Structure 1
Amino acid sequence: MQIEAVDLFCGVGGLTAGLIKSGIKVKAGYDIANECQFAYEHNNNATFVHKDVAEVSALEVSSWYSKDSIKLLAGCAPCQPFSTYNQGKDTTKDKKWPLLYHFSRLIKEVKPELVTMENVPEVIRHKVYQDFIDELKSLGYEVFSKEVVCVQYGIPQTRKRHVVLASKIGNIELIPPTHDVAVTVKDVIGKLEKLRAGEKSTNDALHASANLSVINLERIRHSKPGGTWRDWPEELRADCHKKESGRSYPSVYGRMEWDKPAPTMTTLCYGFGNGRFGHPEQDRGISLREAALFQTFPENYQFTETPKKISFRGVGRMIGNAVPVRLGEVIGLSFKSL
């Protein structure tokens, strides 16, 4: 029997693309960010619905599934309220905070046979997460939850994510790790066209790197793969690095290493000053295409309808917010093994 999915908080389709790759048919994705519609529909042959999940009804979601299908409801709610970047801040007023409760409401009303949720590992510290798990169990689901080390599944990032799988048709767990050896930066981007800072490939508009200021260009020239800003001459160091509070951020303005996985991709991963996002040997930050490849998007995945007018901030947000495609595939394969 065919598993069919509806993807809540779908973004540009990272999870959807992975589920499709595993053999699951994804019928629709919901997201409040309408700028994701082109990428979602163009690459995945699924319908994008521009709508706040808080306003989505169970009747609407249920209408997407075929009568004889196994229903999968997937939801990777925005992780910002749960992120380590927000620890210590009052996030209780964040509008994204209740989204897991809306997801839980739809599960209760739609009654899918299968459910998956993915988020940052810190989500487990919050009451909304425990309420979500308790609700699944009270509805009769077998529940599996685990912190996933992405490199163990061939994702070339040091990324860790918390994954929940729930089933009403048998015991469910994530498939065992598939990679003993990490996929490296060189494996992923080693053969891509060389670029200078601010340059764009003539063959791929997404293979474009952001401009660097004169001082940042000088800084990256003094940066070593795997090194820190401490490798720079004193006159190049930022004022914030000289303060005691700045000493705990050694990876900012860092270069990646060829023989190791990339760091976790963020919404600002195209910026040299935003983390260890410097190219291992070229004097620039990674390109948007390189960031997408680290997120395991296919090489031909298109993010905008007009590639010549790409916004680094806009596309960077799409890529950084996405579920890695390979993780979506692993989740799908886990359900397919039932």
Structure 2
Amino acid sequence: MKNIYRVLDLFSGAGGLSYGLEKTGYFKSLIALDFNEPAIETFKKNHEDTKCIVGDITDKKVKDKIIKLSKKDKINMIVGGPPCQGFSNKGKNLGLKDERNFLFLEYVDLVKEIEPEIFIIENVKNMVSSANGYFINEIVKLFTEIGYLVNYKIINSYEFGVPQTRERTIVIGSRNFKYDFKNLYKYTVKEEKRPKVHDAISDLNYLNSGEGSDVSEYLIKSSSNYQKEMRKNSKKLYNHIATNHSEIAINKLKMIPAEKGKEFLPIELHGKQKFKTTWSRLEWNKPSPTIDTRFDTPSNGKNSHPVLNRAITPREAARLQSFPDKYRFYGKKTEICKQIGNAVPPLLAEKIGLSLIEQIARCKTGHK
């Protein structure tokens, strides 16, 4: 018997969380909401059966529509990553009433209105540590008051087979049981088997600055299990386009040896960015650092190709985020970069989903 959870994905972005959950076969995202039109286009093209809505969650008409649709579709699970910009000691005075956190309160309100069995929140790592735990305690309190058993943990995607050290806070609430993160760790990958940058993108190692196209052919055979998995059911390669860098940027990258960083640049060429990782190349036999929304810019951090004189492409970044090659992104380059950088790695979402189903089954049979 297979119970399919009917999901509402709020702040859905490109759909990484939904895609990963759906891969388990136990979840189906019926409704998705985001205010960003290109992100919703990407979501819709990759989840054709989902009702995709472009809108602002603070708009009463949009909110009422979401509630009405959710009740009609018998939504019993809500997922999403509400932006929370006010997590700082300074913001503690206003707490969750800080206007920068109002989107989080909208999420809480929709959970209260729709009353799903389960909810999942993905957010930044410092959601837990900010203001000495004040905010996470407030969040747990809010959900507890409306009838949920809540647990949370900072999770590193790399431990679960994503070729990237991405740490995020995961909050899971249920009406029937308290989610046990120990169960999730049954789905980790042994250190020696975790894919690295080479496993993820070495077969895409041929474009120079300004080269590539939105749809192209595979030119190099896959050389790792991870690459084979990413290529499944994809006859074409999408979004493999290299940034057209300035001559100055290319000349800087030429000075930096394979897998090295800005320590090889003259001090006067370090630029205004003072972070240690700016103008750094990825390392083949290590995981990527966190993929952010500006991975196409060498001065942004450690996101230049290990050996080629360019930043990584959207497809390479998507691989490092564990999106399969068939998952195509839509919109202008800056929008596509945002979609990929803001996404929940689907592979992590899939493992959270499998762990959830296991605990739900235990709860229903009365086993702890």
TM tier, shorter chain? 0.7 to 0.9
1:233 CA displacement: 3.5
Of 331, 334, 337, which residue of structure 1 is paired with 2:355? Answer: 334
Task: Indicate the SS of the match to 2:281.
Answer: coil
Amino acid at match of 1:179: V
Aligned residues of 2:84 and 2:103 also touching (Cα < 8 A) = no
Partner of 1:214: 247
Which of 170, 183, 193 is matched with 2:177 structurally?
170
Summarize the Cα distance change of 1:252–1:5 in structure 2 as closer, same or farther, 3 Å threshold: same
Residue segments in structure 1 that go unaligned for 5+ positions in a row: 305-309
Q: Distance in 1 between matches of 2:271 and 2:80?
A: 42
Q: Residues 180 and 199 (structure 1 numbering): CA distance in 2 closer, same or farther, change over 3 Å?
A: same
Q: Quote the Cα distance in structure 1 between the aligned partners of 2:84 and 2:72.
A: 26
CA distance in 2, matches of 1:119, 1:335: 18
TM-fit CA distance, 1:149: 1.1
CA contact (8 A) 1:172 1:334 kept: no
Q: CA deviation at 1:130?
A: 3.1
Q: Percent identity?
A: 29
Structure 1, 125-134 or 2-11: larger mean CA deviation: 125-134
Distance 2:291 2:126 in 1: 17
Alignment check: 8 A CA contact 2:118 2:174 kept: yes
Question: How far off is 1:227 after superposition?
Answer: 2.9
User: Is it true that 1:34 corresponds to 2:37 in the alignment?
Assistant: yes
Cα deviation digits, residues 127-168 of structure 1 (max 9, x gap): 554332112222332212000011101111111000011111
Amino acid at match of 1:75: G
SS of the residue corresponding to residue 277 of structure 1 reads strand
Cross-structure match for 2:272: 240
Determine helix, strand or coil for the equivalent of 1:118. strand
How far apart are the structure 2 equivalents of 1:169 and 1:42?
34
The runs of at least 4 aligned residues of structure 1 exceeding 6 Å deviation read 86-90
Question: Does 2:89 align with 1:75?
Answer: no
Seen in structure 2, the aligned counterparts of structure 1 residues 136 and 227 have a Cα distance that, compared at 3 Å, is: same
Number of the residue aligned with 1:307 = none
Number of residues paired by the alignment? Answer: 320
Deviation at 1:169, TM superposition (A): 2.3
* Structure 2 CA distance for aligned equivalents of residues 239 and 195 of structure 1: 26
| Match status 1:139 vs 2:178 | no
Choose the corresponding residue for 2:316, options 261, 265, 290: 290
Q: Secondary structure of 1:284's partner?
A: coil
Verify: 1:324 aligned to 2:329, yes or no. Answer: no
Instruction: Confirm or deny: 8 A CA contact 1:116 1:164 kept in the other structure.
Output: yes
Of the three residues 62, 71, 78, the one matched with 1:63 is 71
Match of 2:165 in 1: 158
What CA deviation, in whole Å up to 9, does each residue of 1:10-31 have, x standing for no partner? 0111111111112211111111
Is 1:185 equivalent to 2:202 in the alignment? no
Measure the CA separation in 2 of the matches of 1:316 and 1:87: 30
Segment of structure 1 superposing worse, 290-299 or 169-178: 169-178
Whether 2:290 is the aligned partner of 1:264: answer yes
The amino acid that maps onto 2:313 is S
8 Å CA contact 2:79–2:121 kept in 1: the answer is yes
8 Å CA contact 1:225, 1:254 repeated in 2: no
More strand by share: 2
Structure 1 length normalisation: TM-score? 0.87
Choose the corresponding residue for 2:114, options 110, 114, 117.
110
Cα distance per residue 1:263-302 (max 9 Å; x no partner): 1111111111111011011111101110111111111111
> How far did residue 87 of structure 1 move?
8.6
- TM-score with structure 2 length normalisation? 0.80
Q: Secondary structure at the match of 2:295?
A: coil
Counterpart of 2:54 (choices 50, 53, 72) is 50
Instruction: Provide the aligned C-alpha RMSD in A.
Output: 2.5
- Aligned partners of 1:210 and 1:312 also within 8 Å: no
The 3 A distance-change label for structure 1 pair 80 and 272 is: farther
Residues 66-86 of structure 1, C-alpha deviations (whole Å, 9 max, x = no match): 3xx7x111121125554xxx8
Give the Cα separation in 2 of the matches to 1:112 and 1:325.
Answer: 22
How far residue 171 of structure 1 moved from its aligned partner, in angstroms, is 3.2
Q: Identify the residue that residue 9 of structure 1 maps to in structure 2.
A: 11
* Aligned equivalent of 1:250: 276
Counterpart secondary structure, 1:30: strand
Q: Of residues 89, 106, 126 in structure 2, which corresponds to 1:122?
A: 126
Q: Which runs of 5+ in 2 are unaligned?
A: 218-236, 361-368
- Select 1:314's aligned residue among 318, 335, 338: 335
CA distance in structure 2 between the aligned counterparts of 1:220 and 1:234, rounded to whole angstroms = 14
